[in-house]
Amino acid sequence: QVQLVESGGGLVQSGESLKLSCAASGFELDYYAIGWFRQAPGKEREGIACLSTSDGESWYADSAKGRFIMSRDHGKNAVYLEMNGLKPEDTAVYFCATDVKYKPAELFCADQRKRFWGQGTQVTVSS
């Protein structure tokens, strides 16, 4: 049974950092594309950062480049999103998602249709 569980969200001030975690079970993360998506109030969900497989291919949205870093821990079967220099416009619910299939990172982030989603974790950035 595939499960994704996010954690690490919270309330921070502008300029501060957070590190989100996504623990996976029921499949091995190394072999499949996985990504972080977010949905702000009144906005569509968007792909922020995605990894294709453990080969290191990654893709970041323009809003995340230079501030966010996505990483994978093989031993813990988890992925992380380190977010630095947070801004109020980063306020959203953050989700990790996978199809348990290979897909290039950019294409994976562009397609909102995913088989498996975590429950989400709220990130709120105050100004």
The predicted-structure confidence for 16-65, as pLDDT tens digits, reads as follows 999 999 999 999 998 999 999 999 999 999 999 999 987 779 999 999 99
DSSP 66: T
69-91: per-residue pLDDT in tens?
999 999 999 999 999 999 999 99
Look-up: residue for tokens 């306020």? Answer: 91
Q: Tell whether the model's pLDDT for residue 127 goes beyond 80.
A: yes
- Distance, in Å, from the CA atom of 8 to the CA atom of 33, rounded to the nearest integer, reads 21
Beta-carbon contacts of 57 under 8 Å, excluding residues fewer than 6 positions away, are 51, 104, 105
pLDDT at 54: 75
Which of the four pLDDT bands, split at 50, 70 and 90, describes residue 119? Answer: very high
pLDDT at 56: 76
Q: What percent of the chain has pLDDT over 70?
A: 100
